[in-house]
Structure 1
């Protein structure tokens, strides 16, 4: 059991900044590895399918839906543990699980074995985001969480595209080792990306000191139970329903873009796959990184101007930018304009990665933050993975035979998700003024976002 600091939530958190930033650095490094382990299979799909004699449906199940379901649904009981017990041991077990099973997948000889390994990877990775958001909230004072949270969240925007670059590097190393190791390159690549996580797990276990939880006034340990959490959501559905709908809208488009933009560049503009991945990786990583810090900065400006619900207002504006970037960019016949649309759309959807953790830290009760983060993961990964790629494919059917039909589908989806996201988050910004929590007035402190 962990010690609970009964100081008010708006009070000062531990002030040992170097130690706090060291922990943020560890969590960010773990996030980079988790995305690499998650996306590496997409790069290895062709040789993997050939060696294991997998159908396209089996490959899609291993890479997409099966991973997303376990990651999202498994995160709920894991978040319950994180909200109640010490977070460091749970985090170490999760990292060891996903890293070890990434390595184990390198030795898979059948679809069933590979599926079990990937399910275990998903379960292990489901630990990281809820634990990290909870830890960062207790490491920094209420008004100083935006920057460390943005640093951690920036990995989502960068690695959704940058994982292709790092994955290509792992494959290159595997090719260099080919004369010395009697393993297929795709198997060696899985080992290469899995091993660093084992070392980081050791660092977390022996060098990370878990901060005490900063409890809200009148908060009891029972606040971490599931029944109070359900009551809290029921009492505050006017904020959380539109909030998660907005998050879902960003997730649907972001995952659709990851799935289909490479094919758009290859089919519609005759780029080589390697060239397409290079453009996507460089442009997407840079624009995503910039957006991850811009949107929290904008929300901070709104707070200083006295606007309520600043986080949600900034996200609503990001939805409007998505409409512009995707709607005008992806449907264009010029490669340069499409790449510009990619940059603007990635800049906009980075708000869906950067802002929800800040909202959960600002409005969520301390012993419910992990579960709120788990719901955020469901909105992004389970619903986004299920709807996003299928929606683009369905919308593209409206232009049968057109070489850039996928671009039209992405443009249409960007307009729809941007509108849904913006309207939902405007609703959430209004509801934020009256959000209730037992014993706490949950409007963020003026200096925070």
Structure 2
């Protein structure tokens, strides 16, 4: 047994929570928070063509706004705030970060150039980095282990709903403001229709932040008595002791995030460039279809993970691996479809299959990690997903489109190539992590968590 595991063994005996109404209310509110995060993060993808036109931006500059401008401060802020969350201030971290990124989203509507938008995106990224690690740690303390896949399916539904609502609401608002004439505001500049969308969608988060403060309690930690959390060095020692699980799993989610963030950033532009569907038409269609298929897939996947979890300790990663594998052919061929309707149908099937592993993935990190270390472990994975994948996924697609394909119309082939190269590799890496993950789960059970 390693030194880090010895320290975990010294923690107090666990108390297993019941799935009370209060617990499920906490999960639901945290799902609303992450939904708002995805709306505020993702709405910019629907504005690619209007921003390029009105601000004179290139594809590469757009990719920097979507990626690096957001993720740089995500990297800077996330780890230290996760340490604060592990010391028992999780609810406060969630509420304050929500208020900050919501205000920053609204202020993006005042931006007049690339650098002002980049500043707004930086504040959004820094604030959002703090929320998810604290939220996922809270969920593991209010819901029993055997129901965690369902709880994280609800939480992950917030991701799916937010991404879809960004397209639906953004598209509807762009349609409603289609004939809005730019207005000159003294001291600021021109305010255009797409900027109004930023302002409108940023404001609800301020209300929800207040509700979090008033209605969601700070959960009592389960299975541990480390009120100061774990220092970073001990976290790294724990990861090293379980590197058979963490190294391939981190690599897998990184490759998957390249695909997902890259596709999310450029799919609206793909529909406009390939089929002539602008934001007002593509947004609602993509959003509604994505929302329905994702929600159904998440809860079917959670049910499978809970059923298999009664029989196997490594059930979560088995489900994740299978969903990665079966989604590959649909995601690869989607950009090659001859009509937008077929592209939406094929993409919906791929998304339905892929998202079935969402609840299982989030559950896997919690059940294989000591309680007072979860915030920092979650932050590490979110750093890989959002900071590295979120920055480089959109950028790599833009660079290949600009400098290799050489034509905006070839975006469809770039999207296809990304999936074809990265999806099989990420599936293989998850498969390599399955057996070490099972051992890690059994170790946590033996230690009383």
Normalising by the smaller structure, the TM-score range is 0.7 to 0.9
Question: In structure 2, do the counterparts of structure 1 residues 242 and 73 end up closer, same or farther at CA, with 3 Å as the change threshold?
Answer: farther
Structure 2 residue 264 is matched with structure 1 residue 261? no
Structure 2 residue 145 is matched with structure 1 residue 142? yes
Report the counterpart of residue 156 of structure 1 in structure 2.
Answer: 159
In 2: Cα distance, 1:186 partner to 1:398 partner? 28
Structure 2 residue 206 is matched with structure 1 residue 202? no
In 2: Cα distance, 1:342 partner to 1:301 partner? 27
Report the counterpart of residue 89 of structure 2 in structure 1.
Answer: 86
The match for 2:17 among 13, 22, 25 is 13
Q: Once the two structures are superposed, what CA deviation does each residue of 1:199-241 show, in whole Å capped at 9, x if it has no partner?
A: 111111122211111134xx53454221110110111111011
Q: Once the two structures are superposed, what CA deviation does each residue of 1:79-103 show, in whole Å capped at 9, x if it has no partner?
A: 1111113212222221221122223
Question: In structure 2, do the counterparts of structure 1 residues 189 and 86 end up closer, same or farther at CA, with 3 Å as the change threshold?
Answer: same
Report the counterpart of residue 312 of structure 1 in structure 2.
Answer: 317
User: Where does 1:322-361 land on structure 2 (aligned, <5 Å)?
Assistant: 322-333=327-338, 335-351=340-356, 353-361=358-366
In 1: Cα distance, 2:65 partner to 2:399 partner? 22
2:258/2:393 contact within 8 Å kept: yes
Gapped runs of 5+ residues in structure 2? 1-10, 186-190
TM-superposed deviation, 1:147: 1.6
In 1: Cα distance, 2:56 partner to 2:296 partner? 41
Q: Once the two structures are superposed, what CA deviation does each residue of 1:406-431 show, in whole Å capped at 9, x if it has no partner?
A: 33333332233221122111111111
TM-score (normalizing by structure 2): 0.85
Structure 2 residue 238 is matched with structure 1 residue 232? yes
1:84/1:225 contact within 8 Å kept: no
Structure 2 residue 121 is matched with structure 1 residue 118? yes
Report the counterpart of residue 447 of structure 1 in structure 2.
Answer: none
Give aligned pairs, total.
434
Structure 2 residue 435 is matched with structure 1 residue 427? no
Report the counterpart of residue 168 of structure 2 in structure 1.
Answer: 165
Report the counterpart of residue 23 of structure 1 in structure 2.
Answer: 26
Report the counterpart of residue 188 of structure 2 in structure 1.
Answer: none
In 2: Cα distance, 1:60 partner to 1:396 partner? 11
Question: In structure 2, do the counterparts of structure 1 residues 392 and 344 end up closer, same or farther at CA, with 3 Å as the change threshold?
Answer: farther
TM-score (normalizing by structure 1): 0.85
The match for 1:293 among 275, 299, 311 is 299
Report the counterpart of residue 77 of structure 1 in structure 2.
Answer: 80
Range that drifts further, 397-406 or 26-35: 397-406
TM-superposed deviation, 1:156: 1.8
SS at match of 1:145: helix
Report the counterpart of residue 130 of structure 2 in structure 1.
Answer: 127
Report the counterpart of residue 3 of structure 1 in structure 2.
Answer: none
TM-superposed deviation, 1:50: 6.2
SS at match of 1:214: coil
In 1: Cα distance, 2:398 partner to 2:116 partner? 30
The match for 1:275 among 278, 281, 296 is 281
SS at match of 1:364: coil
RMSD between aligned alpha carbons?
Answer: 3.3
Question: In structure 2, do the counterparts of structure 1 residues 175 and 140 end up closer, same or farther at CA, with 3 Å as the change threshold?
Answer: same
Question: In structure 2, do the counterparts of structure 1 residues 71 and 351 end up closer, same or farther at CA, with 3 Å as the change threshold?
Answer: farther
Question: In structure 2, do the counterparts of structure 1 residues 341 and 403 end up closer, same or farther at CA, with 3 Å as the change threshold?
Answer: farther
Q: Once the two structures are superposed, what CA deviation does each residue of 1:160-216 show, in whole Å capped at 9, x if it has no partner?
A: 333111223444666799899975434433332222111111111122211111134
Question: In structure 2, do the counterparts of structure 1 residues 100 and 436 end up closer, same or farther at CA, with 3 Å as the change threshold?
Answer: same
Question: In structure 2, do the counterparts of structure 1 residues 400 and 55 end up closer, same or farther at CA, with 3 Å as the change threshold?
Answer: closer
In 2: Cα distance, 1:179 partner to 1:267 partner? 25
Question: In structure 2, do the counterparts of structure 1 residues 96 and 194 end up closer, same or farther at CA, with 3 Å as the change threshold?
Answer: same
Gapped runs of 5+ residues in structure 1? 1-5, 445-449
Question: In structure 2, do the counterparts of structure 1 residues 60 and 139 end up closer, same or farther at CA, with 3 Å as the change threshold?
Answer: same
In 2: Cα distance, 1:146 partner to 1:159 partner? 20
Report the counterpart of residue 3 of structure 2 in structure 1.
Answer: none
